[in-house]
Every structure is written in structure tokens, then in C-alpha cells.
């Protein structure tokens, strides 16, 4: 087992930003009739308060689910070495300035009229708490330690994990 390091306040926000921006795509989970529904979403931004921002179609099932129940889960995973789960509350806005701030050329795939597409909205997820698992020394050191563990028959976990809270 690796080290445990719970993070709060600015340390938690820094870890959320690091992992969300590196992994980029998460499974964005909403609730409908007490059942979780998941779909992949691309993180656009993590702000200084740890809020995670997304662009979304205002007519999507995701937006409709958020209107009925604002609880969401964000599940991030990259290979075998980086994971993060965030529990939070989502809110939807049509704030044009925020849309412009988050806009990127790839978004035009979903919003063909561009940044002024009437269907575009932003989702802000305010995290309550979460959990992360990461490597302490990066991918190369992790791989070397795993190879050494296989050869020697010992455990050489390079992981670090912990709770995330505001």
C-alpha cells in the first residue's frame, strides 16, 4: 500500500487542477430516479476555488438531469497510475462571458454555430469532497519500481492517495 495524504483547501484545489487538467476527460455522472447515468465529458477549466467547468448542450439529457437533481460525480482515470473521484453539485448557466472564456475550437464539433450557438451552456461543478490516487515520483519511477517488485518478489508501491475536501 502506498502513502496516504489527505488534502484540503488550496492543496486539494491544486491536486484537483493537476489531475483534471492532465487527464482531461471524465465520466460525468448524474442521477435520474436514483439511478446513476454516466457520459464522457471534457474538462474545460478548474478555477481557484476547485470548481470544475464544462461546456454542454442546454437540451442534453445531462442538463435535464441536473435541473432535477444537482448531485454529480466526476470520475477521472488515466492508465494504471492516476485516478480521482469528485462528489459535487452542478449548476447550469448561459453566461456568454464564461462560454467565451471556456470556448475552444474543438467545441465547434458539438456547437456548429460557434461560441454564439444558442444551444451552448456551461456547467459548473462545485466539489464537496473526493478521493485521489496518484504516483509519488511519476510514471517512469513507477514502472521501474513495478519491474523491480516483479523480479524481487517484493511490494514497491509508489502510490499516494487520500481524501480531498474544501
Domain ranges of the chain: 3-165
| Structural element, H or E, at residue 165 | strand 159-165
Q: Tell me, what's the pLDDT at 158?
A: 60
Pairing of strands 71-78, 52-57: unpaired
Contacts 24+ apart (CB under 8 A), 101-104: 101/45, 102/44, 102/45, 102/53, 102/54, 102/55, 103/55, 104/44
Is residue 116 pLDDT above 50, yes or no?
A: yes
Tell me which CATH code domain 3-165 carries: 2.30.110.10
Q: Tell me, what's the pLDDT at 146?
A: 43
Q: Tell me, what's the pLDDT at 3?
A: 87
**Beta strand residue intervals within 19-112, DSSP E:** 25-32, 35-42, 45-46, 52-57, 71-78, 82-93
Ramachandran region, residue 105 (left: φ > 0; alpha: ψ -120 to 50; beta: rest): alpha
What is the overall mean pLDDT for the chain? 88
Q: What is the pLDDT of residues 124-143, one digit of tens each?
A: 999 999 999 998 545 444 44
Three-state SS for 21? helix
Q: Which residue has the higher pLDDT, 80 or 67?
A: 67
Ramachandran region, residue 75 (left: φ > 0; alpha: ψ -120 to 50; beta: rest): beta
Cell reading at 158: 509508489
Across 1-15, 26-40, 51-65, 90-104, least confident range: 1-15
| Percent of the chain whose predicted confidence (pLDDT) is above 90 | 78
Amino acid at each position: 500500500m502506498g502513502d496516504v495524504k489527505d488534502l484540503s483547501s488550496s492543496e486539494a484545489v491544486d491536486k484537483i487542477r493537476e489531475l483534471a487538467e492532465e487527464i482531461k476527460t471524465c465520466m460525468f455522472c448524474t442521477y435520474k430516479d436514483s439511478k446513476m447515468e454516466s457520459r464522457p465529458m471534457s474538462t474545460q477549466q478548474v478555477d481557484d476555488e476547485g470548481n470544475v467547468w464544462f461546456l454542454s448542450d442546454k437540451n442534453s439529457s445531462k442538463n435535464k438531469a441536473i435541473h432535477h437533481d444537482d448531485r454529480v460525480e466526476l470520475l477521472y482515470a488515466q492508465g494504471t497510475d492516476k485516478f480521482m473521484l469528485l462528489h459535487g453539485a452542478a449548476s447550469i448557466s448561459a453566461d456568454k462571458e464564461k462560454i467565451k472564456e471556456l470556448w475552444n475550437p474543438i467545441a465547434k464539433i458539438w456547437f456548429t454555430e460557434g461560441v454564439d450557438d444558442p444551444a451552448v451552456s456551461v456547467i459548473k461543478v462545485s466539489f464537496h469532497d473526493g478521493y485521489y490516487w496518484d504516483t509519488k515520483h511519476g510514471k517512469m519511477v513507477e514502472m521501474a519500481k513495478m519491474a523491480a517488485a516483479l523480479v524481487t518478489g517484493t511490494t514497491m508501491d509508489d502510490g499516494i492517495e487520500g481524501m480531498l475536501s474544501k
